[in-house]
Chains A and B, each alone.
Chain A
Amino acid sequence: MNLFTAINEGMRTAMQTDPTAITFGEDVAFGGVFRCSVGLREEFGADRVFNTPLCEQGIAGFGIGYAAMGGTAIAEIQFADYIFPAFDQLVNEAAKFRYRSGNQWNCGGLTVRTPCGAVGHGGHYHSQSPEAYFTHTPGLKVVMPRGPVDAKGLLLASIRSPDPVIFMEPKVLYRAAVEDVPDEDYEIELGKGEIMRQGTDVTVVGWGGQLRVLEKACDLAEQNGISCELIDLKTLAPWDVEIVTESVMKTGKLVVSHEAPLTGGFAAEISSTIQEECFLSLEAPVQRVCGADTPFPLVFEKYYVPDDLKNFEAIKKVMNY
């Protein structure tokens, strides 16, 4: 099963088990541009699966209102690049509803799904990874799966989470990633990372689609006799501080990689925390291997993205420090 089918399965399970669950967004009734909602309208009816006008701010506000009344709202923003018109609704209305109402109201039933990341030819407005904007907002949870099995389990946990969740789907994996996904209803706990491969020399941290790149970088390192411990964070807010600190205490070296631009990216947060928590264990400066501090360039995408070679270089650098 590929990633978009796993997302589809996740939404189907959520809607079968929760009669208040609805899904809506631009063209979702026809299956959505990435086919994630295909067949849902036929199964659950046009009252529960419907198209919205092209208005992201309205979509987000609408979802918050529905969730505030106890409903489960699964909203789709067609591309993460289009989430910015909804930024105010998500940051000011959704994230703070519980806090500002003294726990009288909340919109925990809201999950905003949105495809993110580079895909080879997306250019400025179909390639961005805006996760760090949302991790800077207490009250929101931010999740990004690395493959189909995680996607279904994390999506179900997000939809059922009592807090609003921004669920980012690496669009490069929609068709490319194939795994055996269990048929049953299962959840993967939010806020918990996973050690994908154990190692002793360097800790390498990433999330979402970037993990495929990091696996390749780790392979290159292994061929050169460097043992890497690769960690998938899965949830960025709240992120699993413990799993990373424990690993760095062991390896003494850390490389963090994401596609979003370097400055102010989520790697900065990880780097800073590790510096605070593991100062005496660190044997080399923490390396951030990230996108360039430029808009996302169509023709230069290959140079812009933090590929396996750049990550391999960073791994070598911390080894030789």
Chain B
Amino acid sequence: MTTENLASRMARLQAAINLEEGDRVPVALMMGATMPCRYKGISQGELYREPAKAQQAVFEVFDELGGYDAAGAGANASREENLLDAPMRIKVPGRDLPDDDPVQWEEIEVLTHEDYDKIIEQGWKDFMFEFYPRFRGWDPAEYHTRIETKATRDIKRQKEVMKVWEEKGIPVYQVSYVNTPLMMLSTCRSFVKFTMDIHRIPDKVEATMDAMIDDLIEISIKSVKDMGISPPTGIPAKSLVMERGGAFYYPLRIFERFEWPYTKKLVEAFIDEGIMPILHFDQDWTLNLPYLKELPRGKCLCQFDSCTDIFKAKEILRDHMCIMGDVSPSLLSLGTPEEVEAYCKKLIDIIGEGGGFILGVGCSVPTNAKFENLKAMVDTAKNYRPPRSA
């Protein structure tokens, strides 16, 4: 048995992304701090008040699981001010919610109908620089200082986290997110209102997205470069948060006009800069899968959350795009280790066949995932070899 180290894990991860079969299927958990804190008896409120303690819980759970193959560097620092994230109202445990409730995002209309015109006129960045102080009730004069202070603090904290992963010999591949314009507007207008906007004023919605996209690309690339992740310790990557634009919500004609062109622009710009786009799909995107073949081969990673048919995804994306997923939140929180193991074996057998697969959870590790279920997942990836390679 070879000794595991940064290089061996990186090679395994890179092989999957390159659509090759490595020594085995890599396993990577999108582990925020919510489950580790719950498991370690740290309240969800403390997670927000004491991010360093929460991050320590992540490392401890990682060690107790016996380690996995790749990690995100993000601590659970608040991303409230991040211009790439939707400015939704956040309900923080211990402040707005009982101390051990999970954090929640309240979907209310924070962007008004009139804001479309402002975004078209100003672009996303300048609009947000004006909007955020209004939204948060801050003095606009203090805004830039505040956001700069926060960015400096978050980058410093995340670099410290990356250092620990490096010492543990774990490559880092995922740090931060960008919402596609559709996802951003849908969550900020609220789903029903945004859907009616598309129905009633499609041209204005499209013009707004056109006015947003360059800023989203520019800020995204800068944020990845600021973090400085690169081989051999990690893969520079950016996640695209994709939920609302898929066929669970909208017909393909809406997707083709309001989601796909902007997704392609983000993906192509990232690839040009050597950044791996991670298409993070929530909800059912099965009908949209064929479009993914238009993206460059072997350059992206797509994550499924158990709602998309991952087996159909394999049929379509085989030899084209690395797939990650999709042990479901309900299985991780309610199932047994035996059930988890059986499902992981099925994924390794079918999705892992021929390479291009990373075993992962559906979306991120849920707060009340059972430790033994996560352990079953990690152990199955490490120990199980499908019959073809026996």
A and B co-occur in one complex: no
**A residues touching B (Cβ–Cβ < 8 Å)?**
none
**Chain B positions near chain A (C-beta within 8 angstroms):** none
